[in-house]
Chain A
Amino acid sequence: MSRMLFISEEGLKLLLEELVSSKTVIAPVEADGYFDFKTLRHAGEASLNYSNTRLPPKRFFLPQREVVFKHGPGAGFSQEPGYGFEAVLFGVRPCDASALSILDSILLKPPNPDPFYESRRRSITVVSLSCTRPMEECFCNVFETGPIRGSGEDLTLTRIGGGFLVEARSSKGWVLVNGFESLFRNADVEHMQEYSELSRRLTEEMGSRVKAVKERLVRLEETLDEGFFQQAAQRCVECSLCSFACPVCYCFDTEDYFEKNCYFRAKGWDTCLSQSFTRMASGLDPRASRVDRFCHRFCHKLSRIPLAFNAYGCVGCGRCVSLCPAGIDIREVLRRWG
């Protein structure tokens, strides 16, 4: 662990105000009973009293739809400009921040890193806020993506008495700290004791929920129990909420079109639950049945992404569990195969 710092409650307020006045700050804002990431107009809008946001901050790195090239007659090829902007993403939970490090393993993998994602990862500073009140459906303990700290964040804040413990996790994190040096001081022994105590309590609390060993999940591919998945797949209404609300789901589709005398291609979120996801023009479809698509969703996250990218495709944020209208619960898969 790197050197721990401390910032007071008042200091954090000042920091947010300073940041909002000088750059784009995206933070959880409460509206209609939900918390969602929004660009702050003033620091007071940010709400830090949330369990988690309704949707992950994925869209700031992977927009729902974006133009990837434009090709105009006479103009040659041009890359759609304007992607990537300096911003601070504030108050991300460690699970959602960890999802970014998983996306890094996939989307930045050589030799063809996604330049749009790469640019946003470089220009957005991710400040996470430890989770001190995990929700009933959370299971970050399985993937070690929380609740105190995950991976993928530049700065990790943990609320303790009178303020926050601060851990810079990357050079971007240090740049932020160094820019506002006067607001931070070294954490003292009492702070560290409180932190260890909190960490121990939360780890214990989370650990008693879903007991699963993530390394065992690779077996899922080999010992797929058709009956189990058939039952769940029957209930699935193919709404794809689980994919679209997932902080890790990254699959995309493309769309070509002609507009204002130019050819464009856009890419946008897709989901492996869609009937057309693997269907070829000939009509052949290697994953034609709903059960097969359904199995793939779980296998992809728990064993196929690990095999291909050495990372797990799930961070245990619990959104797919709470949002599924059919009550389909990935934790059952974890309990059974993990």
Chain B
Amino acid sequence: MGLNPYVPKPARIIRVKDETPDTKTFTVGPNHFQGFTPGQFAMLTVYGVGEAPFSICSSPLDKDCLQFSIRRMGSVTSMIHEASVGDEVGLRGPYGRGWPLERMRGRDILIVGGGIGLAPLRSLVLYLIGERDRYGEIAVCYGARTPSLLMYRDEFDDWTGRGVSLHLTVDVGEEGWRGSVGVVTTILGEPRLDKAGAIVCTCGPPVMIRFVLRRLVELGYSKENIYASLESRMRCGVGKCGHCHFGGKHVCLDGPVFQYGEMTSLPRGISPF
């Protein structure tokens, strides 16, 4: 008999960090997902409450633990926001198809995030700067509604110090904000990259992804090099429960990272077009 894929592996919360007013980053261990690909996700269980999919936001180079940035939203996320260091959670995964690391080797890379959509991209950024010499230029364009909603702010200096060109923008500024104001599409032209060859990875709210894809093509990025991570309600993560089956694709198996061309054949609603 096959293993029961519905049983989570137990893990404990090692650290809890306030990321933004409604989002916390949880560090959990042990790392059951050795060798996962950035962009993959986990099903995280709060025992007795429920389970939901979350992007892994830590680097696969971190062998000891996994990190998840979780926004307080529904029952599972509200309960985990009440959790403390030492509490037990359950993990299943890693699931899905992550960012196309193989295709990125030797190329320029543009990473475009919106709000909490930076979580699966942070995993990628940390991985890339850990293996910096294998890649060309790395640029990150990141936007949030306000400066206080920018995720991972305290890590930005480290990213830039390790060869990442960082471009930030917010929809609405706050006192002391000296960066750009406007949606993320307004800063997409800033990074100086080899547009024809660069690989682009994006994640954020569906409406942002739609306009980012459009702008990227206008700027001369090649469609076949553009990837986005999509989100969906899921129950199993292994292609059995039917919740994330759109068109001929399962977000949990064929995604969450999709290539531009694959997204054009997804049905309305889940397709960013």
Interface residues, chain A, with chain B CB atoms under 8 Å away: 68-69, 71, 77, 79, 106-107, 109, 112-115, 118-119, 221, 250-258, 263, 265, 267, 270, 272, 277-282, 284-288, 292, 296, 299-300, 303-304, 306-308
* Chain A hits for B74, CB < 8 A: 281
Count residues on chain B whose CB falls below 8 Å from chain A CBs. Answer: 46
- B1 (CB) vs chain A CBs: closest residue: A115
- A118 (CB) vs chain B CBs: closest residue: B2
27 A-B interface contacts by CB (under 8 A):
A68-B4, A69-B6, A69-B7, A71-B10, A77-B10, A79-B4, A109-B239, A112-B2, A112-B5, A112-B240, A250-B242, A251-B243, A254-B236, A256-B45, A256-B49, A257-B48, A258-B48, A265-B6, A265-B45, A270-B241, A278-B243, A280-B233, A286-B206, A286-B269, A286-B270, A304-B247, A307-B248
- B3 (CB) vs chain A CBs: closest residue: A115
* Chain A hits for B249, CB < 8 A: 308
Q: Indicate if the CB atoms of B206 and A106 lie closer than 8 Å.
A: no
Report the Cα distance A259→B205, complex, angstroms: 38
Quick check: is B77 within 8 A (CB to CB) of the other chain? Answer: yes
- B238 (CB) vs chain A CBs: closest residue: A112
* Chain B hits for A286, CB < 8 A: 206, 232, 246, 269-270
Q: How far is the CB of B272 from chain A (nearest CB, A)?
A: 10
Quick check: is B193 within 8 A (CB to CB) of the other chain? Answer: no
Q: Indicate if the CB atoms of A308 and B248 lie closer than 8 Å.
A: yes
Quick check: is B268 within 8 A (CB to CB) of the other chain? Answer: yes
Q: Indicate if the CB atoms of B240 and A281 lie closer than 8 Å.
A: no
Report the Cα distance A304→B270, complex, angstroms: 14
Given contacts A256-B45, A281-B52, A307-B248, contact A251 B7 (CB under 8 A): no
Report the Cα distance A113→B4, complex, angstroms: 8
Q: Indicate if the CB atoms of A263 and B48 lie closer than 8 Å.
A: yes
Task: Give 8 new A-B contacts, CB below 8 A, not counting A221-B247, A280-B231, A296-B267.
Answer: A114-B240, A115-B3, A252-B240, A252-B241, A267-B6, A281-B76, A286-B270, A300-B242
Report the Cα distance A113→B1, complex, angstroms: 9
Q: Indicate if the CB atoms of A254 and B268 lie closer than 8 Å.
A: no
* Chain B hits for A300, CB < 8 A: 242, 245
Q: How far is the CB of A178 from chain B (nearest CB, A)?
A: 25
Q: Indicate if the CB atoms of B47 and A256 lie closer than 8 Å.
A: yes
- B50 (CB) vs chain A CBs: closest residue: A256
Report the Cα distance A338→B206, complex, angstroms: 34
* Chain B hits for A254, CB < 8 A: 6, 50-51, 235-236, 241
* Chain A hits for B241, CB < 8 A: 251-254, 267, 270
Report the Cα distance A307→B51, complex, angstroms: 28
* Chain B hits for A272, CB < 8 A: 242
* Chain A hits for B247, CB < 8 A: 221, 304, 307
Within 8 A of A (CB), among B173-221: 206
* Chain B hits for A109, CB < 8 A: 239
Q: How far is the CB of A217 from chain B (nearest CB, A)?
A: 13
Quick check: is B163 within 8 A (CB to CB) of the other chain? Answer: no
Given contacts A71-B90, A115-B2, A253-B241, contact A287 B248 (CB under 8 A): no
* Chain A hits for B97, CB < 8 A: none
Q: How far is the CB of B172 from chain A (nearest CB, A)?
A: 20
Report the Cα distance A112→B50, complex, angstroms: 21
Quick check: is B73 within 8 A (CB to CB) of the other chain? Answer: yes
- B241 (CB) vs chain A CBs: closest residue: A252
* Chain B hits for A288, CB < 8 A: 269
Q: Indicate if the CB atoms of B2 and A251 lie closer than 8 Å.
A: no
Within 8 A of A (CB), among B3-17: 3-8, 10
Quick check: is B24 within 8 A (CB to CB) of the other chain? Answer: no
* Chain B hits for A265, CB < 8 A: 6, 45, 51
Report the Cα distance A257→B240, complex, angstroms: 21
Given contacts A277-B243, A308-B245, contact A118 B1 (CB under 8 A): yes
Q: How far is the CB of A121 from chain B (nearest CB, A)?
A: 11
Quick check: is B122 within 8 A (CB to CB) of the other chain? Answer: no
Q: Indicate if the CB atoms of B47 and A308 lie closer than 8 Å.
A: no
Q: Indicate if the CB atoms of A119 and B231 lie closer than 8 Å.
A: no
Annotate B69-81 by CB proximity to A: 1 below 8 A, 0 otherwise. 0000111110000
- A122 (CB) vs chain B CBs: closest residue: B1
Q: How far is the CB of B40 from chain A (nearest CB, A)?
A: 14
